[in-house]
C-alpha cells in the first residue's frame, strides 16, 4: 500500500516538475507510434476497403488471416522484424536494427491487421448498393470514395484508435528491434520495463501514468471527431 | 465534413514524423555492444558510455541481454563488441575466432541470497557444496533459467556439488537478475546473484546474503571485439577503441568507485588495474 501511494506521489512530482527525461521518452513514444499508425492507415484503409467491397474467391481466407494477425503477439512481430533487419539478416545492409525506423516498421506490422479488419467491417456495414446510388446521383469516382469514407467514419476512426492503442502500449517488439537505447529508442513501455528491473518504482509508475494520459488524450480527440455529426 | 479534414493532416503528420525520425539516425561511427543485464541494471554502463561517447564521438548502442544471447549475437556478427561474464561459455567463441582482443575488465562475486531466517541453514554449512546440499534438502531455489552468465554459473555449481538440479524444488523465471531476485524474495526462496545487482536492489528485497566468499563464486567480466575477418560490417576500430577505453586507468578507477559511497562497498573490482599493480 505504502509503496503504491509513495510511487503515485513521486510520479506526480516527476510529471509536474518538468522532468526532461520523462518528456523526451513520452515524445518518442508519440513519434514512433504515431508514425506507425499513420502508415498503417495509409496502407490498411485501401486494403480494408477492397476486402469490404470486392468479392473474390480468397476473400474469406484473407479476412481470416487478417483476423489472426490482429491476435498476433507483438513480440512475434518484433522477432520477425529483428531477424529481417539484424546485420546477418536479409536486410541487414540497411543498418536499421536498433533504430526508431525499425520500431516504426515493427509497430506498422502490428497495426495493419487491426486497421484492415476495422475498415473492412465498417465498409461492409454500409448498404451494398450505396456506391451505385451515389454514382447515379452524379458523384464522381473520388467523390464516391470520399462520401463512403464519411459514412464509414465511425469504423475508420475506431481503426485509428485500435491501431494506435495497440502499438503505443506494446513492449515486446519495441524492445527487440529498438534495443531500448537510452535517449534514442527508449519509449514509455520499454522504459517501464527498465525502471521496474532497476526497482525504481516511482519512475515506472510515472511513465505508466503518462502513457495512460497520452492514450486517453488521443482517443478522446478521435472520439469527439467520431461522434460529432453522428446520428 | 470532419472526417476527411482529419485524415489528411494525420497522414501528413505521420509522413513528416517518419522523415524526421529517419533524418537524425545515420551514424557511421557507432558500435553495438552486447552485454549482460547485470552490468546494465546496476547502472555502470550509464556512467561509462556517455564519457566514451563524449570523448570519441563514437555512439554506443548497448543491448542488454543474457550472456548466452550476447555471445550468440557476436557469433552471428550482430554485435561489434561484447562485455560478458561466463568464461566457459566464452571459450568456444574465442577458439572459433569469433571473438578477439579479449581482455579482463573487472570482477565481483556471486553470492547466494535467501530468506533472512535461512530455513535451510545454508549459512551455517562448512563450505559451498554443503551449503548447496542444505538448500537442496530444505529450501526452495529460484533460477534465472535464461542462458545468462549467472545461470551458467548456477548450473556449474550444482554440477560441482554433485547435485542434479532436476531433483530440487527449483523454479526458473527466464528473466533478468532483478526480476529473479524479486521472485525469490516474494516466494521466500534462495537464489544465486551477482553482488552488484543484489546491492542495487537490496532496499526492496526481503533477502539476506547467506553464502559468500568462496573462490568458486568469483565473477569475471571480459570484453571482446567481434572478429571483422569472420563477419561482414563489424565496426572493429570503434569496438577496439571501446575495449581500450574500458582498460584505461581512469575508467578502471571509475569502475572501482562506482556507487561505492552509496553501498559502503564497491560493486565491481577493476581487474586491469589490479594486474597492472594498482592505480
pLDDT tens-digit map of B146-189: 888 999 999 999 999 999 998 888 899 988 888 899 899 999 99
The string of pLDDT tens digits covering residues A168-193 is 999 999 999 999 998 899 999 999 99
CB contact under 8 A, A101 and B22: yes
What percent of chain A stands above pLDDT 70? 97
**What separation in angstroms does the CA of A178 have from each of B16, B57, B199, B201, B209?**
20, 21, 29, 26, 36
Q: Which of B2, B13, B61 sits opposite A179 (nearest CB)?
A: B61
**Is there a contact between B145 and B177 (Cβ–Cβ < 8 Å)?**
no
Q: Which of A98, A101, A104 sits opposite B32 (nearest CB)?
A: A98
B254: left (phi over 0), alpha (psi -120 to 50) or beta: alpha
Q: Is B80 on the interface with A (CB under 8 A)?
A: no
- Of A5-9, A84-88, B80-84, the range with the lowest mean pLDDT is A5-9
Q: What is the distance, to the nearest Å, from the Cα of residue B100 to the centroid of all Cα atoms in its chain?
A: 19
d(CA B217, CA B143): 16
Mutate to test the interface with B, among A87, A106, A196 (most CBs of B within 10 A): A87
Radius of gyration of chain A (CA): 20
Q: Is B23 on the interface with A (CB under 8 A)?
A: no
The confidence band for A4, taking pLDDT boundaries of 50, 70 and 90, is: confident
Residue B159 cell numbers, joined: 554440477
Locate cell 522504459: which residue? A191
Is B270 in a helix, a strand, or coil?
strand
CA distance A64 to chain B (A): 27
Mutate to test the interface with A, among B2, B66, B179 (most CBs of A within 10 A): B2
CA distance A81 to chain B (A): 14
CA distance A221 to chain B (A): 11
A22: left (phi over 0), alpha (psi -120 to 50) or beta: alpha
Q: Which of A101, A150, A156 sits opposite B25 (nearest CB)?
A: A101
Locate cell 495512460: which residue? A212
**Is there a contact between B208 and B114 (Cβ–Cβ < 8 Å)?**
yes
Quick one: pLDDT at residue B24?
46
Quick one: pLDDT at residue A229?
60
CB contact under 8 A, B3 and A100: no
- Of A104-108, A142-146, B188-192, the range with the lowest mean pLDDT is A142-146
Consecutive H or E run containing A191: helix A188-197
Q: Is B10 on the interface with A (CB under 8 A)?
A: yes
CB contact under 8 A, B18 and A197: no
CB contact under 8 A, A92 and B233: yes
d(CA A167, CA A74): 8
Name the CATH topology of B109-217: D-Maltodextrin-Binding Protein; domain 2 (3.40.190)
Quick one: pLDDT at residue B15?
54
Q: Which residue of B has its CA nearest to A226?
A: B3
Neighbours of B77 (CB within 10 A): 20
CA distance B21 to chain A (A): 7
Residue B94 cell numbers, joined: 574465442
Q: Is B9 on the interface with A (CB under 8 A)?
A: no
CA distance A57 to chain B (A): 31
Assessment of whether the complete model's pTM goes beyond 0.80: yes
Consecutive H or E run containing B193: strand B191-194
Between B279 and A109, the more confident residue is A109
Contacts of A31 in chain B (CB under 8 A): 17, 20-21
Name the CATH topology of A2-227: MetI-like fold (1.10.3720)
Tell me what ipTM this predicted complex has: 0.77
Mean residue pLDDT across chain A: 90
Residue B5 cell numbers, joined: 479534414
Residue B136 cell numbers, joined: 537442496
Q: How many helices (H) and strands (E) does chain B have?
A: 13, 10
Q: Which of B1, B7, B18 sits opposite A35 (nearest CB)?
A: B18
Residue A210 cell numbers, joined: 503518462
Residues of chain B with pLDDT under 50: 1-4, 20-28, 275-279
Quick one: pLDDT at residue A121?
93
Q: Which residue of B has its CA nearest to A31?
A: B17
The string of pLDDT tens digits covering residues A204-220 is 998 999 999 999 999 99
Quick one: pLDDT at residue B18?
52
CB contact under 8 A, A201 and B22: no
The confidence band for A195, taking pLDDT boundaries of 50, 70 and 90, is: confident
**Architecture in CATH for domain B28-108+219-275:** 3-Layer(aba) Sandwich (3.40)
Amino acid at each position: 500500500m505504502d509503496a503504491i501511494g509513495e510511487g503515485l506521489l513521486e510520479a506526480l512530482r516527476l510529471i509536474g516538475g518538468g522532468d526532461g527525461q520523462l518528456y523526451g521518452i513520452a515524445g518518442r513514444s508519440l513519434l514512433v507510434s504515431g508514425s506507425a499508425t499513420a502508415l498503417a492507415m495509409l496502407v490498411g484503409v485501401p486494403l480494408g476497403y477492397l476486402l469490404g467491397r470486392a468479392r473474390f474467391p480468397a476473400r474469406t481466407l484473407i479476412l481470416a488471416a487478417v483476423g489472426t494477425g490482429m491476435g498476433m503477439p507483438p513480440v512475434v512481430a518484433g522477432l520477425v522484424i529483428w531477424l529481417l533487419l539484424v546485420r546477418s539478416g536479409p536486410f541487414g545492409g540497411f543498418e536499421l536494427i536498433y533504430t526508431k525506423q525499425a520500431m516504426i516498421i515493427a509497430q506498422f506490422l502490428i497495426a495493419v491487421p487491426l486497421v484492415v479488419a476495422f475498415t473492412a467491417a465498417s465498409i461492409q456495414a454500409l448498404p451494398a448498393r450505396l456506391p451505385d446510388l451515389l454514382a447515379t446521383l452524379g458523384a464522381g469516382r473520388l467523390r464516391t470514395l470520399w462520401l463512403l469514407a464519411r459514412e464509414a467514419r465511425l469504423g475508420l476512426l475506431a481503426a485509428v484508435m485500435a491501431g494506435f492503442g495497440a502499438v503505443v502500449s506494446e513492449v515486446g517488439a519495441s524492445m527487440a528491434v529498438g534495443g531500448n537505447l537510452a535517449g534514442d529508442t527508449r519509449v514509455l513501455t520499454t522504459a517501464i520495463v527498465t525502471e521496474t528491473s532497476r526497482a525504481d518504482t516511482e519512475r515506472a509508475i510515472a511513465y505508466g501514468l503518462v502513457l495512460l494520459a497520452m492514450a486517453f488524450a488521443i482517443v478522446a480527440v478521435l472520439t469527439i471527431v467520431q461522434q460529432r455529426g453522428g446520428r | 465534413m470532419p472526417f476527411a479534414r482529419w485524415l489528411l493532416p494525420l497522414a501528413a503528420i505521420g509522413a513528416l514524423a517518419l522523415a524526421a525520425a529517419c533524418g537524425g539516425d545515420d551514424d557511421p561511427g557507432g558500435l553495438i555492444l552486447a552485454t549482460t543485464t547485470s552490468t546494465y541494471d546496476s547502472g555502470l554502463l550509464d556512467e561509462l558510455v556517455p564519457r566514451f561517447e563524449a570523448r570519441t564521438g563514437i555512439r554506443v548502442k548497448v543491448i542488454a541481454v543474457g550472456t548466452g544471447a550476447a555471445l550468440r549475437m557476436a557469433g552471428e556478427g550482430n554485435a561489434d563488441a561484447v562485455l560478458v561474464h561466463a568464461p566457459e561459455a566464452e571459450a568456444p567463441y574465442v577458439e572459433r575466432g569469433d571473438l578477439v582482443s579479449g581482455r579482463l575488465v573487472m570482477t565481483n562475486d556471486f553470492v547466494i541470497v535467501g530468506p533472512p531466517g535461512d530455513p535451510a541453514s545454508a549459512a551455517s554449512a562448512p563450505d559451498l557444496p554443503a551449503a548447496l546440499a542444505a538448500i537442496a534438502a530444505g529450501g526452495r531455489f529460484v533460477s534465472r533459467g535464461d542462458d545468462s552468465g549467472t545461470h551458467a554459473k548456477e548450473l556449474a555449481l550444482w554440477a560441482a556439488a554433485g547435485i542434479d538440479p532436476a531433483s530440487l524444488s527449483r523454479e526458473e523465471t527466464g528473466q533478468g537478475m532483478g526480476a529473479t531476485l524479486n521472485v525469490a524474495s516474494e516466494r521466500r526462496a534462495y537464489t544465486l546473484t551477482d553482488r552488484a545487482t543484489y546491492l542495487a536492489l537490496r532496499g526492496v528485497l526481503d533477502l539476506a546474503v547467506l553464502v559468500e566468499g568462496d573462490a568458486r563464486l568469483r565473477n569475471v567480466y571480459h570484453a571482446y571485439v567481434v572478429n571483422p575477418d569472420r563477419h561482414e560490417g563489424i565496426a572493429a576500430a570503434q569496438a577496439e577503441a571501446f575495449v581500450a577505453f574500458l582498460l584505461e586507468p581512469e575508467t578502471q578507477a571509475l569502475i572501482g568507485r562506482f556507487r561505492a559511497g552509496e553501498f559502503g562497498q564497491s560493486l565491481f573490482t577493476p581487474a586491469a588495474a589490479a594486474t597492472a599493480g594498482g592505480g
